[in-house]
Amino acid sequence: MGPQEIVRILIEADGAVDARSLIEASVHLPSRSSRWVASFRGEAGRQVWRTTGLHEPEAALALAKQWEAEAGSRRAAQGSLPRKPTIRVRPGTPERETGLLTQREVAAILRISERGVREIERRAFEKLRRHPALREFWIEHQAGQIKEAAPEAWKLNRAEIAAIYELAKTPSERQALRKLMALAAQ
C-alpha cells in the first residue's frame, strides 16, 4: 500500500479510520537470524508474525503479501464478526425483570470473585465468536432450518432441587439459586 492509497482511505472515510485498514504486510530481519519474518494482518484481523524461511527480502515480502491476501479472502468469506457482547444485569432493566443473574450472584454460586466472573465471560464469548461450528449453526438457525425445543429431560424433580438448595451456604447464594430455578422452570 503506497502513500496515495493511504491518503485515499483517509479522505474517503466518513468518520474515524480503523487502523487495521491501513496495516500492510512487511518483513523484518531479526538480529540473530538470516531468515526474514513476515508481519501481516491475519484471518482474525490481528497482526500475525510468521517466519518466511527465506533469505531474500523481496521474496519474503512477496510471500507475506500472499499470506495477507489469503487471510483477507478468508475474512471476507466469514463475514464480519459481531460486536463484543456483554451481559450486564442492572436494576430496572428488562434482563433483571426476567430473572437473569447478576455477576455478583454468579460469583456467589461459583464461590469466585466478580472479577473472575467477568474474565470467564470475556474468554467464553471470545471462544464462541471464533468457533466455526457455532457460526455455522447460527447461520442455519437464522435461515430457519433449526427449530428450538426444550426437552422434558431437562426438568428437575423435587429431590434434585432440594439437593441443589442444600449447596447454598449464604443468603445471596440462596437468592441466586431461586432465580436459577425459576429460569430452569420456564
Q: Are residues 50 and 111 in the same domain?
A: no
What is the grid cell recorded at 9? 482511505
Q: What value does the mean pLDDT take over residues 82-94? A: 64
CA distance 178 to 16: 47
pLDDT confidence tier of residue 167, bands split at 50, 70 and 90: confident
Q: Which domain holds residue 65?
A: 25-78
Domain boundary among 15, 47, 78: 78
Q: Are residues 68 and 104 in the same domain?
A: no
What is the grid cell recorded at 130? 471464533
Beta strand segments in 29-73, E: 37-41, 47-51
Q: Are residues 74 and 99 in the same domain?
A: no
Q: What value does the mean pLDDT take over residues 148-162? A: 70
Q: Please tell me which residue, 185 or 134, carries the higher pLDDT value.
A: 134
Q: Please tell me which residue, 65 or 153, carries the higher pLDDT value.
A: 65
Q: For position 91, what pLDDT does the model report?
A: 67
Q: Please tell me which residue, 84 or 159, carries the higher pLDDT value.
A: 159
Query: pLDDT, tens digit, for every residue of 33-43?
Result: 999 999 988 88
Q: Are residues 153 and 100 in the same domain?
A: yes
Share of the chain above pLDDT 70, in %: 75
Q: What value does the mean pLDDT take over residues 94-119? A: 83
pLDDT at 72 over 90: no
Q: For position 176, what pLDDT does the model report?
A: 78
pLDDT confidence tier of residue 155, bands split at 50, 70 and 90: confident
Query: pLDDT, tens digit, for every residue of 4-31?
Result: 776 776 776 666 666 656 667 889 999 9
CB atoms within 10 A of CB 25: 21
CB atoms within 10 A of CB 24: 15
CA distance 111 to 89: 19
Q: For position 63, what pLDDT does the model report?
A: 93
Helices 171-185, 103-110: inter-axial angle, 10-degree rounding: 110
Q: Are residues 43 and 104 in the same domain?
A: no
Q: Map residue 41 onto helix, strand or coil.
A: strand
Q: Are residues 120 and 155 in the same domain?
A: yes
Q: Are residues 99 and 180 in the same domain?
A: yes
Name the one residue in this structure whose C-alpha cell is 521474496. Answer: 59
Q: Is 87 among the domain residues?
A: no
Q: Is 85 among the domain residues?
A: no
What torsion do the CA atoms of 46, 49, 55, 59 make, to the nearest 10 degrees?
-10
Average pLDDT in the chain: 78
pLDDT at 121 over 80: yes
Q: Is 4 among the domain residues?
A: no
Helices 114-130, 103-110: inter-axial angle, 10-degree rounding: 100
> What is the pTM (predicted TM-score) of this model?
0.40
Query: Which long-range contacts link 96-100 to residues 24+ away (Cβ below 8 Å)?
Result: 99/179, 99/182, 99/183, 100/179, 100/183
CA distance 21 to 156: 51
Query: Which long-range contacts link 93-97 to residues 24+ away (Cβ below 8 Å)?
Result: none
Q: Map residue 161 onto helix, strand or coil.
A: helix
pLDDT confidence tier of residue 50, bands split at 50, 70 and 90: very high
Contact by Cβ (8 Å): 34, 27: no
Q: Are residues 136 and 53 in the same domain?
A: no
Q: Are residues 170 and 119 in the same domain?
A: yes
CB atoms within 10 A of CB 137: 13
